[in-house]
Structure 1
Amino acid sequence: MSGTTTQARDELAIGGMTCASCAARVEKKLNRMPGVSATVNFATEKARVEYGGEVSVDDLIATVEKTGYTAQRPAPAVSANPPEPSPGGTSGQGAAASSTTEDGSGSCNGSHDGSHDRELAGLRQRLIISAALAVPVVLLSMVPSLQFQNWQWLCLTLAAPVVAWGAYPFHRAAWTNLRHGAATMDTLMSLGTLTAFGWSLWALFFGDAGMPGMRHGFDFTVVRSEGSSAIYLEAAAGVTAFLLLGRYLEARSKRKAGAALRALMELGAKDVVVLRAGREVRVPVEQLAVGDRFVVRPGEKVATDGTVVEGSSAVDASVLTGESAPVDVAPGDSVTGATVNTSGRLVVETTRVGSDTRLARMATLVEDAQSGKAEAQRLADRVSAVFVPVVLLVALGTLAGWLLATGDATASFTAAVAVLIIACPCALGLATPTALMVGTGRGAQLGILIKGPEVLESTRRIDTVVLDKTGTVTTGRMSLYEAVPAPGVTEDELLRLAGALEHSSEHPIARAVAEGARERLGTLPEPEHFENVAGLGVRGVVENRRVLVGRERLLREDPEGGTASGTLPEALSAARDAAETAGRTAVLVAWDGRPRGLLSVADTVKEGGAEAVRRLRALGLSPVLLTGDNQAVADAVAAEVDIDEVIAEVLPEDKVAVVERLRGEGRSVAMVGDGVNDAAALAAADLGLAMGTGTDAAIEAGDLTLVRGDLRVAPDAIRLARRTLATIKGNLFWAFGYNVAAIPLAAAGLLNPMIAGAAMAFSSVFVVSNSLRLRHFR
């Protein structure tokens, strides 16, 4: 791809894929186009394509169709904004995408889901009818005591519709692929069942199998017999029923695996009450624009991202963050679309709509992750691409080998058919996508966004976790730490007078003192003659007392400060020294010509910070605290959360250098941060964990996003990613191991074709079921 060409990125919904080798073929054909880079995911049935130059979406669709499959742009993922018309003859889909489904859910992905539901229903009907016809055939063929006069002709009557109609999807796909000069799993399935059925027809009409009184036994392995008297109707019908069962369970499981993303997409509100010219008007949420003000009553969902301008309430954000406790909001606070207002009436001003909203971006991140491929899956795809031709050669070799070795056409044919049927590596194609779908979907429910499969590999390797201090380990807001009254003064009196005066100031330290006093005492008196002394503090009159709050210099320079001689009472002097040693900011309070107390404020450690560090250690990670603050402040915070390694007084632009230095020491580094100044370090680390309460830049740079902003979610995120990776590896081991072990058994004549069909079907079901266990991650 040329670096000068602008690359466009698009997504196509691919139809007609039945196995991993189908996905590999489509991917290969797309990647052969000039300037095109494509990834095709069998589980999500989507192609993620980057293209440039002269290539258009229509060209991409045409290439897929020439390969024997269908392609179209999928419906928009999140209907928070009117869908834009897409070029290339798919305009009808956009309309379907934003329509409301029959159950009133208004699913934005309704058309796609509807087609999946119809496909699943059709598959279920085909399975039930085929199974009902196949069971008598299998029983009559396997149990000699049930075989009556001319039983074989009844079996033919029952098996014919199963092979012709029940297995029709396999035959149709095999024929389509044959026309395009390709072979897939369907080729193996179709060839296996048709060969078994064809042999049976020959034996019935031209051999001895159609004679009255013919008896037929069953063996789990290949047995030698007279070829003209052997029929394989039970293999043809039974294998078809097993294959349909496997495909039905696989399709249903894939739908379950993607349920978390669909639920995420459907969380948003469908309509909203907007304030227009002083009146409340209910409109579809798509009509909201940035700057609009809308009303959220108790029990209603917040329609989109915005800022509260009127009212106060508690908002339940559990659907997005996994956090159970509602969060209090008041004017000036931000709220996120899809969260639920639990109590008071709110008026919210819209700040983001459509694909810019937090919900839409979450859905996009999850979908991107589900569309990716782990390195192990790329290997599996390469194996799948060459697997079918190899299996056809092995089957022919098996047939020839048995004929040469034994001269027994029946045993030779049986072994060859067993090879064809057992070989299907569908489990290989499902191993990674299903685990990724379930893992990332479960993460989204818990407020953990995993960017892609490459991230999973990183979580396994990391041994050091660098924690940014402000906003990650600490709240990033000053809070009142302690109040030390002078002898003869009560703590309540100190807080009441200082808090009342500081309440009139906008300084962060003043706000911390005022909030701390109000939390402890409730209401505070109103100050008079308030004056802000730049850089030193504030003074004014509270309850007829002239009060000063600020630095020691303010008390020395003001006659009412009582420290003109330069001395503080011993108790206050000791408290000041202790506060400053611990990295806290000390504020002195005086009234009536004497120092009356000391207040210390500090950026407080987040709730659960120490627990999070303890859990990170339990995962085998060494925590490092990184901050631009001075060493005393950093050491105090590190001691509170039990971190031994502290790197302080680092400029924002030097955080990357710290990460690189740690990596240079041979460590594999994870970085947890939330600010703009953390974005570069997050990108430079082997694994970046962005706090979702932080800036967009940090979230974009991170590999994992912790939506809630609670540090305790970080070890959960790493555990989930590691669990997902372990599931993928377990799936791939089973899928590879199954084929490696099964094909030689079949070629050696140790497997009956029907047993082979059942085993093949259930290998896929096993892989998907193993992935679904991730839904129960806690």
Structure 2
Amino acid sequence: MSQATTNVNQTIDFTENKISFAVQGMTCASCVRNVERALNKIEGVKYVSVNLATEKAVVISEKPISFNEIKEAVESAGYKVSKESPSEDLIEKGFKKARKNMLISISITLPLMVLMILHMVGIHVPYFLIFELIAGALVIFIPGRETLKSAWIALTHKHSNMNTLVTIGALSAWFTTVLALLGIDIFSFGTVATMLITINLIGRYIESRMKKNASKEITSLLSLKVDKANVVTEKGVVAIPIETVKIGEILLVRKGEKIPLDGIIVEGEGYINESMVSGEPLPVYKKIGEEAISGTILESGLIKIKVEKVGEDTFINQMIKLVEEAQSSKVPIQAFADRITLYFIPIVFFAALVSAIIWFFNYESFQPFLIRASEVFPWVLTDVERLSMSIFVFVATLVIACPCALGLATPMALVVASGISAKKGLIIKNGEAIQIAKDINVVLFDKTGTITEGHPTVKGHTLDDETYSIITKIEENSTHPLAKAIVEYYFQNYDRNKLQNIQVINIEEKTGEGIKGTYQYDNYFIGKPQVPDKYKNFMEKGETIIEVLKNDKSIGYIRISDKIKEDTIETITKLKEMNIKTVMVTGDNEITAKNVCETVRIDEFWANVSPENKVEIVRKYQIEGKKVCMVGDGINDAAALKSAEIGIAIGTGTDLTIESADVIISKGEISKVLDAIEISKVTFKKIKQNLFWAFFYNIIAIPFAMMGVLHPVIAEIAMLFSSINVIYNSSRISKITEYKG
């Protein structure tokens, strides 16, 4: 039994104090957690979210909080804060720097590894220790200096991060080379030090690439803004910088130009493309007294606008702010990895330190154990000084504990899942989204271009073939979307060659009314109905009626609608079978929205909603404890896509929406939402398996290192095999999903 469609178009009260800002200096999930923890200590704060990839944060509080309070809290954790988001140039500079550091480190480490292998197999390289010392110093203190700096900041602010473990391990390993050159009987692990730093720098490079890609979203929005506006003065029209325009001034906007600022039309009329506001593809006819919105495009006509909003108050700037805030929305599943990182690093360091101290003071007592162990593990040190053995155990424990396999457990599974998704017509942009797709229990759908095709088509007409040919010939002279729909219908159902024999004259298009022309002394008009109430039944179904007049007498009409996608009803049905609630959010009127929802059997709908309303609706369900998936294709959906746990964009949508989404449906089929959920289930299962084996590896290996029977190089090899196991297990996702698909 299908559930009745419910209209929930009530007002939501989201009275809150919200502040957005940028955080600089973060390098890992631990940094994010440290910043969030510091901000949560501010009195009145009820929500904090920090995004590592975009370096942006948002704080929601019960009372207003000054930026100085924010600054003090962030700086107390050892990081910098700015009111301005990272500029595109700054992000590009950071990306190039990370790439340079990585390449320098690799170019030094690879040759050193070759020399180490030769040295270990008995081919002794002259002055190898000096090579290790110099190479290690170059890698650690030049490309790796940011890693050291991050660890130092964490230390001085009484917390730790992943760079803390990497730094301590690398420096400890490198100092074994220093001690060996000083004549102390100890193994040199200088090459291991360079390997640790290099692995870390590769991770930093990937992170910087994420930040670079994330910046494209705001860049797309900024492209909607204009630099200058045509201001009408007593001396004529003058083009001046947009930031100097004042409220009350009159702007001139010509055909094809973007509207610079929000205002009211005081002269002229025309069709304005407001798809970036409403998501609807049809241009909106605007006349004197109606609103014109910044960033929209005047497709026809000439208008003058009286400016009502400037600066941060304009629609486009508000939209940019919405997307920036949405970029900082927190994905709940990250909390698990954050908690592991928070406790893992100090526990490992403490274990390594305690082990080293115990060995130093009990070396003679443990020596018989070492001798017996050496019969099984030939690399075990049996005849070195107690200090050497202590350092050996300390370095081995730190190296074996470096969570490379743990770090690969989730991303490797997501990489494979992304590849499989692409084959199924899905593009996974945000890897974390696929982790939570299995938990989605509410799916919000935009209407136009998501549930419907996104372009108007002729549904039917009452004209004879000859008349339809004549009006098609007339409509070929118009660029209006409805005219294109009429022409497309003719080309699909009639012989287009017949149009060559039809000659029309006196073509005249009247903005907002229709188009007329003359054929063989008969005057035709195609446009708005003279008596709209005659077609009320059709209009209530969301259809547009185009009436045809011949010599001022109605001879028929054409019904045009935006068709519902073929896979919509089946998709909605299957989602409901999975106990997932379906909701439609649209800028359309209530009558149209209700009809569409009843047709496709959606549970409930929200009509006449603005972009801000869509974000509030997402939050409404989140506050109720729901995991929300937003599916849309317009710029007006961008902020909601980012605010939801998962944002899915239809590939036919705008560039901004695609950049704002976590998942892109490349061919516009919403049935791919089901594929995303299925792939998520399989992928998440593999992620859990990977995490188990990564932990199992550490649980088994760390005690061996603490007992002194695990060589740091062997630890590095063991770590490699653990990573290979994670990669192999992740690759099996493709076989499982192909079998199910």
CA offsets 1:471-490 (integer angstroms, 9 cap, x no match): 987999999965489xxxx9
Say which of 137, 158, 168 aligns to 2:145: 168
Match of residue 337 from structure 2: 380
Relative to structure 1, the CA distance from residue 521 to residue 320 in structure 2 (aligned partners, 3 Å threshold; closer, same or farther) is farther
How many Å apart are 1:234 and its aligned residue?
A: 0.7
Match of residue 26 from structure 1: 35
Match of residue 141 from structure 1: 116
Counterpart residue identity of residue 379, structure 1 = F
How many Å apart are 1:196 and its aligned residue?
A: 0.6
CA offsets 1:720-770 (integer angstroms, 9 cap, x no match): 98599779958965884574255246424487355578899999999xxxx
**Alpha-carbon distance in 2 for matches of 1:289, 1:674:** 31
User: In the alignment, is residue 8 of structure 1 matched against residue 17 of structure 2?
Assistant: yes
Match of residue 670 from structure 2: 715
Match of residue 231 from structure 2: 274
Say which of 406, 415, 419 aligns to 2:370: 406
**Alpha-carbon distance in 1 for matches of 2:562, 2:26:** 49
Counterpart residue identity of residue 370, structure 2 = T
Normalised by the size of structure 2, how large is the TM-score? 0.60
**Alpha-carbon distance in 1 for matches of 2:727, 2:540:** 63
Match of residue 563 from structure 2: 607
Relative to structure 1, the CA distance from residue 133 to residue 720 in structure 2 (aligned partners, 3 Å threshold; closer, same or farther) is same
Relative to structure 1, the CA distance from residue 312 to residue 434 in structure 2 (aligned partners, 3 Å threshold; closer, same or farther) is farther
How many Å apart are 1:66 and its aligned residue?
A: 2.0
**Alpha-carbon distance in 2 for matches of 1:743, 1:358:** 53
Match of residue 664 from structure 1: none
User: In the alignment, is residue 231 of structure 1 matched against residue 188 of structure 2?
Assistant: yes
Say which of 213, 217, 224 aligns to 1:256: 213
Say which of 64, 67, 85 aligns to 2:77: 67
**Alpha-carbon distance in 2 for matches of 1:158, 1:433:** 35
Relative to structure 1, the CA distance from residue 384 to residue 701 in structure 2 (aligned partners, 3 Å threshold; closer, same or farther) is closer
How many Å apart are 1:616 and its aligned residue?
A: 4.8
User: In the alignment, is residue 743 of structure 1 matched against residue 698 of structure 2?
Assistant: yes
**Alpha-carbon distance in 2 for matches of 1:314, 1:64:** 45
Are the counterparts in 1 of residues 222 and 320 from structure 2 also a CA contact under 8 Å? yes
**Alpha-carbon distance in 2 for matches of 1:583, 1:254:** 42
Relative to structure 1, the CA distance from residue 183 to residue 314 in structure 2 (aligned partners, 3 Å threshold; closer, same or farther) is closer
Are the counterparts in 2 of residues 275 and 293 from structure 1 also a CA contact under 8 Å? yes
Query: What pairs with 1:85-484 in structure 2 (closer than 5 Å)?
Result: 110=87, 113-144=88-119, 147-207=124-184, 228-277=185-234, 279-288=236-245, 292-296=249-253, 300-304=257-261, 310=268, 331-332=286-287, 337-338=294-295, 346-347=302-303, 349=305, 353-396=310-353, 406=370, 408=381, 409=389, 412-422=393-403, 461-462=440-441, 482-483=461-462
Counterpart residue identity of residue 32, structure 1 = K
Are the counterparts in 2 of residues 301 and 338 from structure 1 also a CA contact under 8 Å? yes
Counterpart residue identity of residue 743, structure 1 = N
**Alpha-carbon distance in 2 for matches of 1:240, 1:56:** 39
How many Å apart are 1:241 and its aligned residue?
A: 2.5
Are the counterparts in 1 of residues 19 and 58 from structure 2 also a CA contact under 8 Å? yes
Match of residue 56 from structure 1: 66
How many Å apart are 1:458 and its aligned residue?
A: 7.9
Are the counterparts in 1 of residues 326 and 643 from structure 2 also a CA contact under 8 Å? no
**Alpha-carbon distance in 2 for matches of 1:181, 1:390:** 15
Query: What pairs with 1:538-577 in structure 2 (closer than 5 Å)?
Result: none
Are the counterparts in 1 of residues 352 and 397 from structure 2 also a CA contact under 8 Å? yes
**Alpha-carbon distance in 2 for matches of 1:756, 1:139:** 19
Query: What is the total number of aligned residue pairs between the two structures?
Result: 601
Q: Which secondary structure does the structure 1 equivalent of 2:182 belong to?
A: helix
How many Å apart are 1:191 and its aligned residue?
A: 0.7
**Alpha-carbon distance in 1 for matches of 2:274, 2:539:** 39
**Alpha-carbon distance in 1 for matches of 2:254, 2:540:** 49
CA offsets 1:192-243 (integer angstroms, 9 cap, x no match): 0111112222222123xxxxxxxxxxxxxxxxxxxx2521111112322332
How many Å apart are 1:714 and its aligned residue?
A: 8.8
Counterpart residue identity of residue 195, structure 1 = S
Are the counterparts in 2 of residues 192 and 420 from structure 1 also a CA contact under 8 Å? no
How many Å apart are 1:69 and its aligned residue?
A: 1.7
Q: Which runs of 5+ in 2 are unaligned?
A: 1-13, 372-380, 382-388, 417-426, 472-511, 586-590, 658-664, 705-709, 729-741
Relative to structure 1, the CA distance from residue 582 to residue 66 in structure 2 (aligned partners, 3 Å threshold; closer, same or farther) is closer
Match of residue 561 from structure 1: none
Q: Which secondary structure does the structure 2 equivalent of 1:715 belong to?
A: coil
Query: What pairs with 1:476-515 in structure 2 (closer than 5 Å)?
Result: 482-483=461-462
**Alpha-carbon distance in 2 for matches of 1:465, 1:166:** 46
How many Å apart are 1:277 and its aligned residue?
A: 3.3
Normalised by the size of structure 1, how large is the TM-score? 0.58
RMSD of equivalent CA atoms: 6.6
Relative to structure 1, the CA distance from residue 526 to residue 295 in structure 2 (aligned partners, 3 Å threshold; closer, same or farther) is same
Q: Which secondary structure does the structure 1 equivalent of 2:43 belong to?
A: coil
Are the counterparts in 1 of residues 228 and 242 from structure 2 also a CA contact under 8 Å? yes
**Alpha-carbon distance in 2 for matches of 1:124, 1:586:** 58
Are the counterparts in 1 of residues 254 and 301 from structure 2 also a CA contact under 8 Å? yes
Query: What pairs with 1:533-682 in structure 2 (closer than 5 Å)?
Result: 605-610=561-566, 612-613=568-569, 616=572, 643=599, 659=604, 671=605, 673-674=607-608
Match of residue 100 from structure 1: none
Are the counterparts in 2 of residues 310 and 330 from structure 1 also a CA contact under 8 Å? no
Identity of aligned residues (%): 20
Higher mean C-alpha deviation, range 415-424 or range 745-754: 745-754
**Alpha-carbon distance in 1 for matches of 2:248, 2:727:** 50
**Alpha-carbon distance in 2 for matches of 1:764, 1:305:** 54
Relative to structure 1, the CA distance from residue 196 to residue 336 in structure 2 (aligned partners, 3 Å threshold; closer, same or farther) is same
Relative to structure 1, the CA distance from residue 472 to residue 480 in structure 2 (aligned partners, 3 Å threshold; closer, same or farther) is same
Higher mean C-alpha deviation, range 56-65 or range 296-305: 296-305
Counterpart residue identity of residue 29, structure 1 = A
Q: Which runs of 5+ in 1 are unaligned?
A: 76-108, 208-227, 436-445, 496-513, 539-548, 552-575, 628-632, 647-657, 660-670, 767-778
Larger Rg: 1
**Alpha-carbon distance in 2 for matches of 1:587, 1:121:** 57
Q: Which secondary structure does the structure 2 equivalent of 1:159 belong to?
A: helix
**Alpha-carbon distance in 2 for matches of 1:462, 1:167:** 44
Counterpart residue identity of residue 59, structure 2 = V
**Alpha-carbon distance in 2 for matches of 1:152, 1:412:** 20
**Alpha-carbon distance in 1 for matches of 2:351, 2:520:** 83
How many Å apart are 1:21 and its aligned residue?
A: 0.9
Relative to structure 1, the CA distance from residue 416 to residue 321 in structure 2 (aligned partners, 3 Å threshold; closer, same or farther) is farther
Query: What pairs with 1:522-541 in structure 2 (closer than 5 Å)?
Result: none
Are the counterparts in 2 of residues 15 and 45 from structure 1 also a CA contact under 8 Å? yes
**Alpha-carbon distance in 2 for matches of 1:231, 1:289:** 70
Q: Which secondary structure does the structure 2 equivalent of 1:347 belong to?
A: strand
How many Å apart are 1:396 and its aligned residue?
A: 4.6
Q: Which secondary structure does the structure 2 equivalent of 1:148 belong to?
A: coil
Q: Which secondary structure does the structure 2 equivalent of 1:275 belong to?
A: strand
**Alpha-carbon distance in 2 for matches of 1:399, 1:264:** 56
Counterpart residue identity of residue 90, structure 2 = S
